[in-house]
Amino acid sequence: MTFNDAKRIAIFLLQNYEAAWKENLSLRALLATVPMSDGTKGIPEWEKRAKQLVESAKTQDLAHARFSPLYRLVEKAQQDSDLLELLRKVPPAGGIQ
């Protein structure tokens, strides 16, 4: 892997992290300010509910099922080019669901 290849991967990862961060920030703002039927703003206790969902066994199982094949491919990689090819296939944040 050349320095330019590593640079492209770093930029790709940073762009994906930035996209996920912006989406998360936008969703947090929406949940905190959405008008409710009683005239108040924000969904009560949304942060507590979100934490419970993230920590739930179902969410953990879904995340594991989605990402474990990628972890296995990384662990099986024998050389830099294997990892580079894998990283090129990772869809960007907000892309393929």
59-71 mean pLDDT? 87
**Residue 81: inside a domain, yes or no?**
yes
CA–centroid distance for 37 within its chain:
31
Q: Is residue 75 part of a domain?
A: yes
Asked if the structure places residue 96 within a domain, the reply is: no
Residues in the chain: 97
CA 89/CA 12 separation, integer angstroms: 11
What gap in Å lies between CA 31 and CA 43, rounded to an integer?
A: 6
Domain that holds residue 41: 3-89
In a domain, 82, yes or no: yes
Res 52: pLDDT = 93
Q: pLDDT tens for residues 9-59?
A: 878 888 888 888 898 889 999 999 989 899 999 888 888 999 999 899 999
Question: Rounded to whole angstroms, how far apart are CA atoms 44 and 32?
Answer: 8
Asked if residue 49 belongs to a domain, the reply is yes
Residue 95 included in any domain: no
The tally of domains found in the chain comes to 1
Q: Is the residue at 94 inside a domain?
A: no
Sign of CA dihedral 92, 16, 76, 60: negative
Residue 97 belongs to a domain = no
